[in-house]
Amino acid sequence: MPSDARTPLQAPLGSPDGGQKRPILGVAVAQYAPGADLVENERLLREHVATAAGRGAQLVVVPEYASFFLPDLGEELVRQAQSLDGPFVSLMRSLAVEHGVAIVAGLVAESEDPGRFANTLVAVDSSGEVVAQYRKVHLYDAFGAKESDWVVPGEISVPQTFVVGGVRVGLQTCYDLRFPEVSRTLVDAGVQLIVIPAEWVRGPLKEHHWKTLLAARAIENTVYFAAADHPAPIGVGHSAVVDPRGATLAGAGVDPGVSIGWVSLDVIDAVREQNPALELRRYRVLPID
């Protein structure tokens, strides 16, 4: 059952009354199953954005492959690839303006390779402007899958970030979660909330990996995470908003739904004062190539 929460864990350490000095951002993670029906995918986006906005969210995160999805990647996804001026992003922009929210969604996007598409995240602000985009860097060539057969990897570059309600937000996609350098690079760029649309495929221990990695990345970087996955039977579900101490503030089980958590910059400050791990580190991140 998806949940919303304003728990004591969200208050600054030592402030049990939950008094906040800095803005609080409502973040929704929408867990649902996009498919091969473009009209239905647009309906699902409309429904979940409206639900999230109606419950107070200012930022809505929906899953990877939100514009089009088939469990087996292939030529049909290449044919269904859209541009940033295409109908799906146009709908994102209009919904953002209509509901006064920012939206992050996974797009099957056109690429420079005619035989492959770009697995792309698009971020739109509440004025309807595209404020960031991210091509998945680490492709899912694991657990028997070979995403790189059909997907062009993103280049290593300076992260595109954006600000919602005073909170700086960064992007990563699904399998990127298994690589700690991705999150650390975003934090080095000033990000306070990392959003991660995903299609985290079910399998032995996969749910355990998903939950553990979300908590670990939040703890080691002292930032918030907002992760939106596909539900069962294909995805593991368990979309969640996780705080800088690794606590799940709001989350879903395996069924579709919307969960809303609240991001507080006061909490980040308090956690980092107690555990200044970012200041104490002695290594930095460098790309392999």
207 catalytic? Reply is no
Q: How far apart are CA 71 and CA 234, in angstroms?
A: 8
Integer-rounded Cα radius of gyration of the chain? 18
Cβ atoms of residues 227 and 214 within 8 Å: yes
- Find the catalytic residue in 42, 147, 174, 207: 174
DSSP string, 173-216: -GGGGG-HHHHHHHHHTT-SEEEEE---B--TTHHHHHHHHHHH
Environment class of 23 (CB within 10 Å of its CB; exposed 0-12, middle 13-18, buried 19+): middle
- Find the catalytic residue in 42, 136, 199, 207: 136
136 catalytic? Reply is yes
How far is residue 128 CA from its own chain's centroid?
19
- Find the catalytic residue in 64, 147, 199, 207: 64
- In sequence order, the 6+-apart residues with CB closer than 8 A to the CB of 234 are 33, 71, 199, 201, 202
Q: How far apart are CA 104 and CA 126, in angstroms?
A: 11
DSSP string, 52-115: HHHTT-SEEE--TT-S---SS-SHHHHHT-B-TTSHHHHHHHHHHHHHT-EEEEEEEE--SSTT
64 catalytic? Reply is yes
Query: Which is it for the CA torsion 86, 89, 93, 95, positive or negative?
Result: positive
- The set of catalytic residues is 64, 136, 174
